[in-house]
Amino acid sequence: MAAGGFCKLPNGTVVVAVNLPHGSAGVRVLVHAGNRARALTRLRNLGLWSVYLRGNAAPPTPDEVTAVLHHPDGLIWRTAPAEGAGLWRPIRALRSAPVQR
């Protein structure tokens, strides 16, 4: 199960943040959608079937919310925050990124 959280925006939409394992490190994925269920459906449509959000332990920061709102797809990722601040990338870059072991 992945750690993560969500925040509801004033216009009624939500931003969901999920930490996922990827290789020797993890990634943080942000999704902007109409509701929490739709955000998780967007991830599952990409093949991430085991992503569930239980609770709100690691909600997105204001900087993360800004980043996902300014991306045209509304679906971005970067290396886990514990490894430092990396650049936000579109989700299609994650699917083609080599796994480092």
Taking a C-beta distance cutoff of 8 angstroms, is the pair 41, 35 a contact? no
Per-residue pLDDT reduced to its tens digit, 22-64: 777 788 889 999 999 999 999 888 887 878 888 888 899 999 9
Taking a C-beta distance cutoff of 8 angstroms, is the pair 39, 16 a contact? yes
Q: Is the pLDDT of residue 101 over 50?
A: no
Please state the pTM of the whole predicted model. 0.81
Q: Higher model confidence: residue 70 or residue 21?
A: 70
Q: Is the pLDDT of residue 79 over 90?
A: no
| Of the listed ranges 1-10, 20-29, 47-56, 90-99, the one predicted with least confidence | 90-99
